[in-house]
Amino acid sequence: MVMGTLRQETELAIVGAGPGGYVAALRAADLGKEVVLIDERGDPGGVCLHEGCIPSKTLIHAAELLEAAREAKKLGITFGAPSIDLGGLRKFSRNVVAGLSRGVRGLLKKRGVELVKGRARFDGPNSLSIEGGGGVDFRHAIIASGSRPVRLPSLTTDGLWTSREALTLPESPDRLVVVGGGYIGLELSLVYSGLGSKVTLVEFSPRFLPGVDPDLVDVMVKSATRSIDGLMLESSVKEIAQEGKTYQVRVEHEAGEQTLEADRVLMAVGRQPNTDDLGLDNLGLSLDDNGRIPVDEDCRTAVPHIFAVGDVTPGPMLAHKASREAKVAAEVLAGQKSAFDNRAIPAVVYTSPEIAWAGLTEVEAKEKKIDVTVGRFPLKALGRARTLGQTEGLVKVLCRPGDGLVLGVGMVGPQASELIAEGTLALEMGATLEDLTTTIHPHPTLSEAIMEAAEVAAGSAVHAA
Ligand code: NAD
């Protein structure tokens, strides 16, 4: 790794080594490009690997293990009260992150990608300066600088956690208030309540996960009420004050005002793109109303030799979207025919049970006045779900009336994060209900629920009552 002290020239400079930037670097190098990859964190992997998806899924797995041990009672197996060694869990999570980051570094090295540590800023159409000295002159650049948690100026007391701090597992506070009931708020509320904290989750909207299909969210919320102490909707946090080691969180809702006492407060009110300190003016690039960089199907910006991928571009802030865009940008740069023309970007919320969907949802269909046929299959009617003792959930398949073209798949239940891949593939391949119903699904598995929901939509369900 080069520390940003010298000025160097390269064919392709990439800003940001997350799942957008490092994937673009690997693909471009494989296609013969000379690549310099710049990231202010010494290790590659970005927020996703170091302080997002990977540590959060490690902690979620720990919380699920604890829940599984409690639930085992149903099967006649009783464990003693668990003893949780936060140090041990922290070490496991750190090792997972370090191992994966080492792996990415090895892949970059093998392909001759030069990794430069430093904060990069465009100082001209073909040059980047690196904070602390040095710079890179390039023919092409890919902006993959990602996003960071939104900090509300009105709520800025010392010591507030964002997902970044919460995922380092500094402690398991007795009382935790979580502000924001979106992806991060829900996932981390479940982690900390699983570890023994008394959690109150405060959401501004009338629903948790606003915008996500209520049929799926309702099942998860019903289950979450058993583990999360307080679930508050239509509640807005107005003030957070610190008194000694305690936080006073003033919440306003329809019924009036309430002050919650907490030992920690986690802010999970959204993420914002890292586009404000990149010197984009020096490139002549403008941002959209959300501070994102508009791109075309090639992932090319309005400045033809500059590309952008991931959270800095419009669309969901998801690692897998960034990685797909990264491959497209690298391939287009290398002269290949490639385009981000994906029909579906799957989304997963790693709650308990998990929620996942791809393509059109029923809510969107109603909003856009798209006529759809919907097949629903409840997990309580599925053999494999019963053997697991996890029957809360359902699968929905949405299709076009007439030819049965699959338009969307949504689910809530165990392993939804894995099962959604079948729905996403069906959407990409332009599959119809017939494709789903005539494909033999192994029995007994959770995947049969997709086939069963498709049969319901097709009106040929043998297992429907
Ligand atoms: P989010 O947009 O999902 O949710 C933020 C929530 O905070 C919203 O529901 C909003 O109504 C609420 N809110 C805002 N201000 C509030 C206030 N003052 N009081 C109470 N509630 C308030 O944002 P997030 O959970 O921070 O996640 C950010 C992004 O990160 C997500 O959009 C997602 O793209 C990504 N992410 C994905 C995953 C995953 O794929 N499983 C996990 C974590 C994060």
384-431 pLDDT tens trace: 999 999 999 999 999 999 999 999 999 999 999 999 999 999 999 999
Q: What is the pLDDT of residue 155?
A: 83
Rounded distance from Cα 179 to ligand 1 centre (Å): 9
**Side chain identity, residue 303:** V
- Beta carbons of 323 and 48 less than 8 angstroms apart: no
The rounded Å distance from CA 180 to ligand 1 centre is 6
Is 189 in contact with 201 (CB distance < 8 Å)? yes
Closest Cα to atom 3 of ligand 1? 182
pLDDT at 316: 97
* Residues 321-363 pLDDT 10s: 999 999 999 999 999 999 999 999 999 999 999 999 999 999 9
**For ligand 1, which residues put their CB under 6 angstroms from it?**
179-185, 187, 202-205, 210, 236-237, 268-271, 316-318, 348-350
Which of 151, 152, 204 has most ligand 1 atoms within 8 Å of CB, for mutation? 204
How many angstroms does the Cα of residue 272 sit away from the middle of ligand 1?
11
pLDDT bucket at 169, cuts 50 / 70 / 90: very high
Q: What mean pLDDT is reported for the chain? A: 96
Helix (H) or strand (E) holding 36: strand 35-39
Residues 47-61: tens digit of each pLDDT: 999 999 999 999 999
Residue-level pLDDT at 347: 98
Catalytic residue among 305, 320, 441, 443: 443
Residue 370: CA count within 13 A, CB half-sphere:
18
Query: Mean pLDDT across the stretch 77-89?
Result: 95
DSSP three-state, residue 270: coil
Amino acid at 315: G
Q: Specify the 3-state DSSP secondary structure of 111.
A: coil
Which residue CA neighbors atom 38 of ligand 1 most closely?
Answer: 183
Q: Taking the CA of residue 21 as centre, how many other CA atoms within 13 Å lie in the half-sphere pointing to its CB?
A: 35
Model confidence at 2, in pLDDT bands (50, 70, 90)? Answer: low
Q: Are strands 373-378 and 354-359 parallel, antiparallel or unpaired?
A: unpaired
For ligand 1, the distance from its centroid to the CA atom of residue 151, given in whole angstroms, is 12
Q: Which is nearest to 299 in space by CA: 111, 23, 46, 41?
A: 23
CB contact at 8 A, 35 and 110: no
Q: Is the dihedral of CA 68, 73, 78, 84 positive or negative?
A: positive
Kindly indicate the confidence band of residue 168, based on its pLDDT and cuts at 50, 70 and 90: very high
pLDDT of residue 274 exceeding 80, the answer is: yes
| DSSP type of residue 20 | T
pLDDT over 70 at 243, yes or no: yes
* Residue 1: pLDDT over 70: no
Distance CA 396, CA 406 (A): 11
Lowest-pLDDT choice from 241-245, 365-369, 432-436, 448-452: 241-245
d(CA 299, CA 340): 7
- What is the DSSP annotation of 301-341? -SSTTEEE-GGGSSS---HHHHHHHHHHHHHHHTT------
The position carrying tokens 């020096």 is: 282
**pLDDT digits over 11-49, tens only?**
999 999 999 999 999 999 999 999 999 999 989 999 999
Section 165-172 average pLDDT: 96
Q: How confident is the model at residue 463 (pLDDT cuts 50, 70, 90)?
A: confident
Q: 457 Cβ partners below 8 Å, 6+ apart?
A: 373, 374, 375, 397, 398, 399, 404, 433
H/E segment holding residue 22: helix 21-30
Closest ligand 1 atom to Cα of 149: 26
Ligand 1, atom 9: closest residue by C-alpha? 182
What share of residues in the chain are helix, strand, coil (percent, to 5)? 35, 25, 40
pLDDT by residue (tens digit) across 185-224?
Answer: 999 999 999 999 999 999 999 999 999 999 999 999 999 9
50 is catalytic: no
Structural tokens at position 244: 């000694």
pLDDT digits (tens, 9 = 90+) for 147-164: 999 988 888 888 899 999
Alpha-helix residue ranges (DSSP H) falling in 231-369: 319-333, 362-367
Using the mean position of ligand 1's atoms as its centre, give its distance from the Cα of residue 210 in Å. Answer: 9
